[in-house]
Amino acid sequence: MTAANVKIYYKSNEDLEVNSGSSVFAKGMIKADKFDLEVSIGSSCIITLSTDFIDVEISSGSMLTLYEEQILQI
């Protein structure tokens, strides 16, 4: 199995899909009015969000660690 480190730079982001055994973490906070997050098929995700609304799907042995910056409506 080959591991790859990928850096992503973005100006805005409103959704994130993490799947197929991948791992995603964010060094900084992700800010969005609304954020859709899907974590599936044995993947892991560690992020800090500042958002008013979040829609989360997590399944199939995945792990999600979510830090909030303000009160979320889930």
Answer whether residue 73 shows pLDDT above 70.
Answer: no
Q: How far is CA 6 from CA 3, 39, 73, in A?
A: 10, 18, 31
What integer pLDDT is reported at residue 72 of this predicted model? 47
Are residues 10 and 28 in contact, defined by beta-carbon separation less than 8 angstroms? no
Q: What is the pLDDT of residues 1-53, one digit of tens each?
A: 577 888 888 778 899 999 999 999 988 888 899 999 999 999 999 999 888 89
For tokens 């560690």, the residue is 46
Answer whether residue 71 shows pLDDT above 60.
Answer: no
What integer pLDDT is reported at residue 1 of this predicted model? 59
- Using alpha carbons only, how large is the chain's radius of gyration in Å? 12
pTM value surpassing 0.85: no
Q: How far is CA 69 from CA 7, 29, 59, 63, in A?
A: 23, 8, 24, 20
